[in-house]
Structure formats: structure tokens, C-alpha cells
Amino acid sequence: MKGYLRLFLMALLALAAASFTAVAQKAAGAAAQAPEEEETPYDEVEYKAYEDAAKEPDLEKRGTMLLDFIQKYPKSALMPHINSAYEIALKECQTGQKWSALESLAEKWLKLHPNDVNTLAFVALATNELKKYDRCVECYEEIYKMQPSATLAKEIYNGYQKTNNLARQQEWAEKLFKMPEFDSDFAMRYDFVTKHTKSNNIPKAAEYAQLTLKSADLVTQQDEKTQEQLRMVRRNCFHIIGTNLEEKARYAEAISAYTRALKAERYGEGYYRIAQCQENLKQIDEAILSYAKAEKVGGEDPDTARKSKARLEVLYKALHNNTTIGIDKVYRKAEEELSGMSGKKELAQEKR
């Protein structure tokens, strides 16, 4: 377990540990403190059963013996000490990182003490370490019902990421989006942009892209790494928004979105998509120039330059008697505008 939740659970368990130890010490000396003439509410056999169980060095065996005591003496006056001894066994499993033993003992104790926060925390800790994330996140949710916090809500969201449960992950994301602590967490929102893009749900991806951009604008501390992440996120989000608008035949708005993507980062596919939109708007001269820029810039997809060159020549020939004479002027203009854009970008960086 990583991050804030581990600290949360450890603090929760540490707080309980002090009281466990105090009760155990009291129980250990209970017989000696009682006046000899005063009759104890339990006999020697009962006390011996408690003492043997509490002092058993094997943790799993100790747990079994303590549970057997509870079954045999359900109304024993020693029950508070039995409870403390069991919880101390759980704490020792945690300290010794005996995760399988901790899981087993904690689950058994939880059956007797449902909704006990400390026991749920032990189960969560053990199952997370054992990579049993489905059970782990169940415990998180039970704890959250009793002790809600933004930190725990985020860890529940992370837990559903590990289980690949997109529906539940999205459910908890919507809760997190309403918490001011996560207003600037653009990465959490961008994760859904990625997921919906991969599943080809572009409208939903565009919806989360808008949310991502709003969060990105709230980021105040921007080191070099964060700036690079924001640049990539802005480019991709505006591109997804543009794609969604283009698919709805809202070409002018799509061009605006792609242009904003290009402001974040110059890439061939952006110019290619703009050229496609311009063609649909019958802006042929503008489309020819955009295809030239796409070819010059290229990009991640090596096919972008080839497609751009082919489409540029088709459009150019249609306007120039089926020849490419003078097409070099288009490329020169494209280079000049790209160079001018690069110069403006460098100037902006210098001013920052």
C-alpha cells in the first residue's frame, strides 16, 4: 500500500495499539492484584485457558486458542482481556509483516466484530499487501462509511483502478470531482480521457477532456515535469475535443480546437485534421496550405506526411490544370508560417 492511505491506516492502528497494550498488561496482573480472600469471577481452569492462549508464541495458533476460549466461555469476565489479546496478535502480525496470518486472523475476528474500524483496517492492510485488491477495496468502503475522508475516497478510486472495475472507478471519480481537494487533479480526469478514447467512445472522452482542461488551468505549482505533462495533456485533450466536433460536422469549431492543440505542441496530425475540416468547409486554398504544414511537420504516425502530400497534390492539380507547377510556393509559405510560429513560441518561452 502506498501513499496517504497507508499513513491513515497505520495511524489508526497505532492509536488503538496503546489501549490494547494497557489492557493486556492489566489482564496479565489481574490475578495477582486481586486480594487472596476475594473470590474472582472465574476459576483457575478458565484463567489458565486465557493465560495459555495469550502467551502462545505462534500467532495463528494463539488466534485459534483465543477463539476457542470465546466459544467455550462466551460470558467470561476475562472477555475484555481476550479481546485485547487477539487485537495484540493482529498488531504483531502487522509488525512482523505476516500478511497471510494477519488476513486469516483479522477476517475471523471481523465475523465476531462486524464494522469494527480497526479490524477492517487490518484486513485492508493485509489484502492490499497480498494483492487481493477486490477484498481490500471492500474494506476501504466499509471504513469510509464510518470515517469518510477525501484521502480514503481517493484510495477507493485507486483500488478500483487496480481491479479494472471502470464502472465503480467512474462512480468514485464523480465523488472526487466534487471535493475541492482534487479540483486541480488533472491526471485523474485525464485517465478517463485515455480510457474512453481507447474504447472509441469519443463523445465521452471529449466530455472528460473538458473537465481535464479546467483542472489543468488550476495547477499553480508547475515544475518542469508538470509543465511537460500539462503540455501533452492540453494537446491531446483539445485534439479529442476537435475530433468529437469534426465527427458532428461542426468543422469551424473543430478547427478552433485543433488550433489550440497546436498551440500546446506542433504535430502533423493536427494540421492534417484542420485541412480535412477546411476541405469540408470548401476552403480549398487554406486546406492546401494546411496539408503542406502537415507534411513538413510529420509526427508520430509516419503515414501522416504521405497522406498530406497526396491530398495536397490532388487539390492543387484541380486548381492548376492538373499540374504541380508552382507548388513549391505553397511549401515555402508553409515553412515561413511554421518558422514564424516557432519564433513566437520561443519568444513566449523567453518572456516566461
- What are the residue ranges in the chain where pLDDT is below 70? 1-40, 341-352
The tens digit of pLDDT for each residue in 299-331 reads 778 899 999 999 999 999 999 999 999 999 999
Q: Which pLDDT belongs to residue 41?
A: 82
Q: Which pLDDT belongs to residue 302?
A: 83
The SS3 assignment for 300 reads coil
d(CA 268, CA 346): 19
Q: Which pLDDT belongs to residue 15?
A: 46
Q: Which pLDDT belongs to residue 330?
A: 97
The SS3 assignment for 320 reads coil
DSSP class of residue 40 equals P
In the chain, what are the domains? 1-165 (1.25.40.10)
Read off the pTM.
0.76
Q: Are 229 and 237 in contact, with CB atoms under 8 Å apart?
A: no
Q: Which pLDDT belongs to residue 13?
A: 55
Closest CA to 304 of 333, 330, 266, 250: 266
Q: Which pLDDT belongs to residue 300?
A: 78
Q: Which pLDDT belongs to residue 221?
A: 82
The tens digit of pLDDT for each residue in 229-284 reads 999 999 999 999 999 999 999 999 999 999 999 999 999 999 999 999 999 999 99
Q: Which pLDDT belongs to residue 280?
A: 97
How many CA atoms does the CB half-sphere of 10 hold within 13 Å?
A: 10
